[in-house]
Amino acid sequence: MTASITGTETRRLRLDVSGMTCGACASRVENKLNKVPGVQASVNFATGVATIDAVEEVGESDLMGVVTKAGYGATPHLDAVPSDDADPNARVARDLLVRLAVAAVLFFPLADLSVMFAVVPQTRFAGWQWLLTALALPIVTWAAWPFHRIALKNARHRTSSMETLISVGVTAATLWSLYTIFVTPQPARQVHGVWNALLHSDSIYLEVAAGVTVLVLAGRYFEARAKSRAGSALRALAALSAKDVSVLMADGSEMVLPVDELQEQQQFVVRPGQTIAADGLVIDGSAAVDMSAMTGESTPARVREGGSVIGGTVVLDGRLIVEAAAVGADTHIAAMVRLVEGAQEQKAAAQRLADRIAAVFVPAVFVIAALTAVAWWWTGAGADRAFSAALAVLVIACPCALGLATPTAMMVASGRGAQLGIFLKSQRALEAIRAVDTVVFDKTGTLTNGRLTVTEVVSVGWARDDLLRLAATVESASEHAVAVAIAAAAPHATGGIAEFRSEAGRGVSATVAGQTVRIGRPSWVARGMPVPETIAALRTEAESRGETVVLVAVDGHVCGGIAVADTVRDSAAEAVATLHQRGLRTVLLTGDNPATAAAVGHQVGITEVIAEVLPEGKVDVVQQLRDRGAVVAMVGDGINDGPALACADLGLAIGRGTDVAIGAADIILVREDLGVVPQALGLATATMKTIRTNLIWAFAYNIAAIPIAAAGLLNPLIAGGAMAFSSFFVVSNSLRLSNFGKDH
């Protein structure tokens, strides 16, 4: 892929970045990369991927060196999505679970003894300090080593992160406790009640350092598990690809090969229960194919000789011989995986603000903690009190929540959308959806099935079949849906054509056997010509039924009319009704004549119809709606819809449409059921709501929690638990999106 930085051609690179532990890390890596001339980078903390647009002079190794110099690891991004076993978040979770288990086993007796020694000082015996130390040291050293390791690495690079706060807090609490119980032991004094002992004991024993470690480990473990679940939908989509393929040899035998060795135009065999290895054309056989994993449609599709199939779908019955048309990275499923990954690359404006705050968050927390300690010391509260409040500030602060707020929600939403046949291409879709009040539908291929057939032919001065063959001969040179229908109605039409011309939205003309033939829109074909009564009657009757009529003129005389019909999708009326229930305005935009357009609009429940719009005029209509204050979502599928999809505030492309439409859209819908349109809008709305909730929580938590801790109202142990809960809440809240649509 190429992009442009100030007019210079660039290429897009992606790096897997390791060692990032909070949004501040992602922001730091992003800033370092963006300082390289000719580079624009975006780093996603949740996915650990840096997306970079760089000029040709900047090599991939140079960029990895920048990341490494910043204190993090970098490797070229693999297109292959890791399996569940290779999922890095799952590996992290397993390591954290072991450390958490050991820490928890040691912490509970440590906490019990510490509380006992605080509540009943008379129970202290000779060597009680050594017992507490023996229980605590494995926790604050080995169990907490992931935090210490990253903090030390940060220190070498003169940076800081969430791990720095945790490591400094745990280390400081440990050293202060050792000093307190060994060097300057506190005089024994009665503290009434366990809760008071926890909240108000001036003496900080090792249970605080150990408890913070346990709570943070627990939070990180559940966070890693949740992040792994967030990416499970993408891994499931990628896992749909077949591993092996039975290639059909020239002698009729079969050879089983790894799927990555399959070449285009090779023929392969698929049997019941097997996954189709590549996109292709059915050469022989008939079978029911389960498309649910790719499109979300539960009803199997029957494919026959001449039909197309998609890699990653499953044959339920029958045997197919398929000729590979697209393999590897060119397959439909590979493109869908790239779409899901690409949706996670961009950042919303709110997330960029959060990342900038996270970049200065940790140093700011250290300053606040120091000021807290000084303030409490100045008030005469004593060293214990001052240290306790400062420690609470260190361990309650949570920049992780800021960094996870948007990307985790986007990760879950894009994965869930893929399961439903909805692919969110960018966060533009999410930011635009909040204000959408008007949904504009294209007709052919969107509200209708897009498969036109000839229903009636009327001729004057010509035999019906001769006129149809003549029209089919001319239309065979066009790819328009009406042309395809007419050509299919006379498949044996022959004859050479010359001087073929096509006028978008109007029709075609050519010379056949010395005769000038014009076929297309009645207003274009019949200008200046009388229209025979029988042909005019055909037009009136057919258009009243919602059919389209094209006229045929030969050597300046209108001599025929051809009616073509396209059936309305069964799901169209219900989808439109759902949009109306949500208070959205719907508009039908089509190049058809007003009568046909009105008939289709009536069928599906759309009363606002704009007809006879040329392809280039669709953009003008969308822009006019926007100029009047409407926030427009455009739904289309054809090549003519591409500019309108790009012009709209939100573009939704039917995935079976053209590459142009898909490339211009913000959301791609791969299901035939139009009910996916309100579902897609609902998913985008739910995702944006989740992101807002996450960001509000992340900001509000830190704004409220740090002053409370500084005021000395929180025991450091409780503060550690609150910090662990904060980032876990953000990820868990995002995971709620994985259930979207299951109750519908």
Which residue's structure tokens are 């939100």?
650
Catalytic residue status for 442: yes
From the candidates 53, 87, 290, 442, give the one annotated as an active-site residue. 442
* CA–CA dist 20, 26 (Å, integer): 6
Helix axes 400-420, 332-343, angle to 10 degrees: 150
Q: In what order do the strands lie in the sheet with 301-303?
A: 301-303, 287-290, 314-315
CB atoms within 10 A of CB 603: 16
* CA–CA dist 195, 531 (Å, integer): 95
- Contact residues for 203 (Cβ-Cβ < 8 A; gap 6+): 118, 180, 181, 186, 384
Give the max Cα distance, the chain.
119
- Contact residues for 704 (Cβ-Cβ < 8 A; gap 6+): none
Give whole-number Cα distances, 419 to 225, 466, 648, 688, in Å.
20, 50, 26, 19
Residues, the chain: 744
Q: DSSP secondary structure string, 583-622?
A: T-EEEEE-SS-HHHHHHHHHHHT---EE-S--HHHHHHHH
3-state secondary structure 306-347: CCEECCCCEECCCCEEEEEEECHHHCHHHHHHHHHHHHCCCC
* CA–CA dist 632, 634 (Å, integer): 6
Query: Strand, coil or helix: what is 399?
Result: coil
Which residue's structure tokens are 């007796």?
109
* CA–CA dist 511, 507 (Å, integer): 14
Q: Which amino acid is at 698?
A: A
Residues with a known catalytic role: 442
